[in-house]
Chains A and B, each alone.
Chain A
Amino acid sequence: MCRLAAITSSKYFSPMENILALETMKEGHDGSGLGLTLKDLGGEFKDLKKYPILSGICSRKGKEILDDYMKECGFKLMHEWTPKIKPVKGIIRRDYYFARVYDYPDDWKDKSDREKEDLLMNTRLTLRKMGEADESIFVFSFYPDIVTIKEVGDPLELAEFFGLDKDNLEAKIIFAQGRQNTNYQIYLYACHPFFIQGYCTMTNGENTAFVPIREFLMSRGFPGYVGYNSDSEVFCHILHYSVRQLGFPLTYYKDIITPLKWEEIQQRPDREALSLLKMSLRPLCIDGPNMVIGFTPDGTCFMVQDAKKLRPGVVGGVKGKYALMSELCGLDKVIPERDKSKDIYPMKYDMVIVSPGAKEVKVWNQLQV
C-alpha cells in the first residue's frame, strides 16, 4: 500500500512535516518513491501567486528544448526555483529539477481563467510529448500557485537529496505520497499525486475498473485525459470531469465513483438527478480497493473510500490544521495535540471535507437527506 500524507493548514508549513509523517508510516511499505504537490505557496513564491509555475525534471538537452519552446510560445520566465541537491547514495541524480514561474504570453493576459487553464494544460501536454520518448523532459504541473516534485527513492532520503529540510519551500496545502507505482513499471509519470487544472488526487490501492474508466475518460474528447501510467490517475481526472467539466458540486464525486443502490437513492432529495447520474456515469464506478485524498482549486481537501472500504484512511486535527493520512501514526506525528476522540475514519458512505484554510472539517454522508 502507498503511504499518503496530506496536510492542510491556515499557516505555511514545510513539506518536511509530510515527509516525517510518511517516515512514521514506513513499516510495511517499500518506500520506492516520493511525490509532493504543494498548493498555496509561501516562501519565495508568496508574491507570485498569479503566475503559473511549471514543475518538472529535464536533462541538459531537454532544458534547451524546453527553453526554446516556452520562448516560442511567448511565456516569460520570471522566477526559478531549483533544489540544492545533496548527493545521497542510491538516488540517481537527474540533470535539472525545477519549478519555474512564468508570465503569460502577451496576447493571453486578458483571456478568461478557463482559457488560460487550457493554455497551461496544453503547453504541459506538448512538453510532455516532446520529452517522453527519450525521457529528456518530465513536466508534472503547470498552474498558478502549484509546485510538484517527484523522484524515485526513499522519501526521507529524497528530502535530504532535495534539501527540503533547509530550503524555505513551504505551502498551506501539501500532498505527499511515499511510494512509486509498484503494480506496473516504476516511472515518474506513474507517481502520485496527480494534478490537472487545479484538481489533485492521490490514492491508496489498486483500481480494478481501470480499463473501462480510462476508455470512458479518454473518449470524452478532453485533451488532458491522457497518460494513465498509473491506474490511480483516473481518480484525479474523474474529479476534474465531474466538478470542472460537468459543473457538479464536489460531493457528487463520491456519488459517481461509489453510486448508491436504487433503494438508497430513493432516500435522497435529489433522487431524480442521482438516478440519471447512476446510469449515465456507470463506467466511472469504482470497485476499489481505494482510498482517495484530493483537493480542488479553492483549497477544499477531502478523503473518500470505495464502497467496501478495503484501504485505511484517517482525518484529524485542530482548527487551522488538519491532516488526511493513510495511517493513524502519521496523523499522530503531524498533529499530536489534537483531540483524538474526534478523529474520523471515513466509511463507505462518507466523504470527509476540510474547508479551505483548514477552518472546519465535516463528514458528508451519501445517505444524508
Chain B
Amino acid sequence: MEPATGLRLDFNHKLTLKEFPYIIRWREDRCKRCGQCTAVCPQGAIRPAVKYVRVIESGGDTPKPRPVRRIIHVIEQVNDIEHYCTGCAICSLVCPNNAIEPEYNPQNKFLFYKNRGGEGYKRGGRRNDPGVSTLDRLKFTRISMLTDPALDAGRHEFRVRSYIGRILPPEELPLKVEDGRLVVDKSSGKFIPPVREIFPIMIGSMSIGALSPTMWEGLAMGVAYLNEVEGIPVVMCSGEGGFPPRLLKSRYVKYFILQIASGYFGWDSIIHTLPYMTEDPAAIEIKYGQGAKPGDGGLLMAPKVIKLIAEIRGVPQFVDLPSPPTHQTKYSIEESVMKMIQSMSMAFGFRVPVYPKISGTRTAKAVLNNLARNPYAAALCIDGEDGGTGAAYNVSLDKMGHPIASNIRECYLDLVKQGKQNELPLIAAGGIGKKGNLAANAAALIMLGASAVAVGKYIMQATADCLGDEYNRCNICNTGKCPRGITTQDPKLYRRLDPDKVAERLVEVFKAADVELRKIFAPMGRSTELPIGMSDGLSIDDKAMAERLEISYAC
C-alpha cells in the first residue's frame, strides 16, 4: 500500500533531540566550518549539512527589507538512536573556536528507545550512579592526638605494603627451637605457600585486546618503572586474553598477575611458554565473575580482534570472542575452586599464588568458606558493583551486583570468626576512586578488612583522560571506537594516546596515592603494617550503615 500522505514526510517515528541524553550546542556564529568535529565524532552523532533558508535582508542606498533564499552550511545532530551523542565532548576538544559542545539533558528518554530489535542496550564503562558511594561517605575519625601522639607522615618510616598469597597461621608454621633460635623444620615436609609483597593498590584486570596497544604499553611501562625505579611494588592484572610471549619470557612478568577466565583465551601460549619463563608471574587470577556484570561473561567483539590480538589469543582475526559466564567444564564449587586452583598451582610449580576473583554477591561467604578450607587458595578477590567493564548490557551494569563495602566487611568478619583473617587475604575491587578519592577509598576498604584493593577505571581516568562518568558520558568502550584511544584497536584512534604520557601519569598516580595513604595512616598511628581491620578508625554518618559495617556512627 502506498503511503497515504503522498509527498508529505511522516515524522511520527522520528525522535526529537529532547529525547537524547546529550544535545549538541552548536554556535553558528563561531563555527568556521572546518569539519573537524564531524570527522572526529566516534558515534557519527553530528554531521555537516546544508540548509536552504529564507532570510530577510535589507541593503542598498534606501534599505528595504526583502526575502532572500540562500544555501547555508551547518553542523546538525542526527536524531537516529543508533547514532546518539554519548557526550564524550571530543568535538569540543578539536574545535578551534569553542563552537560546539554536548550538553547533558536530564529529561532524556534514552532508555525507552535504545533497546532495539529485541536486543538490550549494551555499553561499556561503569553503572550510571551519580550518588555518593558508601566508600566516599566513610570518614577516618580515630585520630591520634594526645594519649597516642600522631605519627609524622613526612618523617617516620612507613611501610605501605601488603601480601598476596596464603599465609600459614602461626600454629601451623614448621618451626622448631634450636639453641634458643627458631629454625624452619625442613624434615616436616610442610608446604609453605608462596607469598608476594605488593603495594596495597593494584591495577585490576584489563585485558590486552580490550585495551589498545598504546594504553597497555603505557601501563606496563609505568608498572615496571614503579617497581624498578621508585621501589613501589605495584602489580597489574593482565585480564583475560593472554600475554605477549616476549614479555612472558622477560623478567618483567613478575610484576603481572595473569588472569585465566572462562574463555581461556591466550592460555595455550602461556602454558607453552612456561618452560622458557625466567621469572614467575606475581600471581594467577582465576576469574569467575566481574562486579560490573555479575553472572555475565566477557566479550571481545570482532573489530577489536586484530592480528596482534589474534596471535596472543590463538584465534582467527576478526571474530567475536565471547567468554561464557561460567567455566564450562566445572559445575560445582569443589571442581571450580579446588581443581582450578590446584592445577594452576601445579602448573607453576606451587611457586605462584593462585586466587579466584568473584563478583560481589550475597553468596560470597560461601565461596570464602570453601577457599578457607583449601590450603592452596591464595586469596579471594571480590569485585563490587561499581566496577567497570568493556561491554555489558545496560541492565546488568546499572541494576545487578552487590556494593563492595558491606560485602568485604562481612567476609572479613567471617574470617575473623574462624581465625583466618591474616591467612586468606581479601582483595576488594569495584568503584574505588569513583569520585577521585583513590587513597581514601582504598584505606577505608583496608580498614574494613581488605588486604589490598584493585582499581581499573580510576587508572584509565587518571592516566589517559577517560571520558566516561556516572552520567553515561562516553562509556562506549564496547564499540571499539574509544575517542581517547584507550579501548580501541583502531590505529587512527589509539595513536591519539601517547604511551609515555600514560606511564608518566601512572607513576604520578601511585606516588601520590602512597603519600596520601601515609597521610591517612599516620594520624591513625599506623606505620609498620597496614591497618587491616582497624575498624575503630572508621565512622559513617548513617546509623544503619554503621551498624551494618560494625563501625562507629558519627555525625
- To the question of whether A and B form a pair in one complex, the answer is yes
Q: How large is the interface on B (under 10, 10 to 19, 20 to 34, 35 or more residues)?
A: 35 or more
A287 touches B175 (CB 8 A): no
Contact between A212 and B533 (Cβ–Cβ < 8 Å)? Answer: yes
Closest to A281 in B: B170
B contacts, CB < 8 Å to A: 144, 147-149, 151, 156, 159, 163, 167-171, 173, 175, 177, 180-184, 192, 195, 197, 416-422, 524-529, 531-536
Q: Is the CB of B147 within 8 A of A219?
A: no
A289/B148 in contact, CB under 8 A: yes
**C-alpha gap A79/B422 in the complex (Å):** 46
Contact flag A287-B182 (CB < 8 Å), given A206-B148, A219-B416, A279-B195: no
- Chain A residues lying within 8 Å of B170, measured Cβ to Cβ, are 246, 277, 280-281
Query: How far, in Å, is B352 (CB) from chain A's closest CB?
Result: 16
- Contact across chains for B525 and A288 when beta carbons are under 8 A apart: yes
Please, which residue of chain A has its CB at the minimum distance from the CB of B159?
A: A261
Q: Establish whether residues A280 and B182, one from each chain, have CB atoms under 8 Å apart when the complex forms.
A: no
Beta-carbon contact of B195 and A282 below 8 Å: no
- Of A221, A272, A282, the most chain B CB neighbours within 10 A belong to A282
* Nearest chain A CB to B88 CB, angstrom units: 45
- From A211, A283, A287, B151 is in contact (CB under 8 Å) with A287
A259 pairs with B528, CB closer than 8 A? yes
Chain A binding surface, main DSSP class: loop
Complex Cα spacing A310 to B421, Å: 29
Number of interface residues of A (CB under 8 A): 45
A270 and B183 contacting across the interface, CB-CB below 8 Å: yes
The residue that B421 contacts in the complex, of A215, A262, A269, A273, with Cβ under 8 A, is A215
Known: A208-B525, A247-B177, A249-B182. A183 touches B418 (CB 8 A): no
Give Cα A292–Cα B535 distance, bound, in whole angstroms. Answer: 24
* New contact pairs (11) apart from A248-B175, A308-B156, CB-CB < 8 Å: A206-B147, A208-B144, A211-B533, A249-B177, A251-B180, A272-B183, A273-B173, A273-B181, A276-B184, A281-B422, A288-B525
- The answer, yes or no, to whether A307 is at the interface (CB within 8 Å) is yes
Which of B149, B182, B535 neighbours the largest number of chain A CB atoms within 10 Å of its CB?
B182
On whether the beta carbons of B173 and A211 are closer than 8 Å, the reply is: no
Q: Which of B144, B163, B181, B195 has the most CB of A within 10 A?
A: B181
Give 14 CB contacts A-B under 8 Å: A208-B525, A210-B536, A211-B533, A215-B533, A216-B422, A219-B419, A248-B175, A269-B181, A272-B183, A273-B183, A273-B184, A279-B195, A282-B422, A308-B527
- Digitize A82-93: 1 where CB-to-B-CB distance is under 8 Å, 0 elsewhere: 000000000000
CA distance A273 to B179 in the complex (A): 14
With A219-B417, A219-B418 known to touch, is A208 a contact of B532 (CB < 8 Å)? Answer: no
Q: Which residues of B contact A282 (CB under 8 A)?
A: 163, 167, 422, 529, 532
A310-B149 in contact (CB<8A): yes
Shortest C-beta distance, B521 to chain A (Å), equals: 9
Instruction: For the complex, give the distance between the alpha carbons of A288 and B535 in Å.
Output: 17
By a CB distance below 8 angstroms, the chain B residues around A220 are 419
Q: Which 10 A-B pairs have the closest CB atoms?
A: A208-B525, A219-B419, A206-B148, A273-B182, A285-B529, A212-B533, A211-B536, A270-B181, A272-B184, A206-B147
Contact B173 A252 (CB under 8 A): no
Closest to A260 in B: B528
Residues of chain B within 8 A of A248, CB atoms compared: 175, 177, 182
Question: Which residue on chain B has the smallest CB distance to residue A252?
Answer: B182
A residues 127-183 in Cβ contact with B at 8 Å: 182-183
Pick the contact of B524: A208, A215, A279 (CB < 8 A). A208
Set of chain A residues within 8 Å of B524, measured between Cβ atoms:
208
Q: Which chain B positions have C-beta within 8 A of A245?
A: 171
In the complex, what residues of A have CB within 8 A of residue B181's CB? 249, 269-270, 273
Q: Is the CB of B168 within 8 A of A287?
A: no
A282–B425 Cα gap in the complex (Å)?
12
- B-side contacts of A261, CB under 8 Å: 159
Chain B residues near A279 (CB, 8 Å)?
Answer: 163, 167, 195
> In the complex, are the beta carbons of B421 and A216 less than 8 A apart?
yes
Cα A248 to Cα B173 in complex, Å, equals: 12
B124 nearest CB across to chain A (Å): 38
CB distance from A250 to the nearest CB of B (A): 9
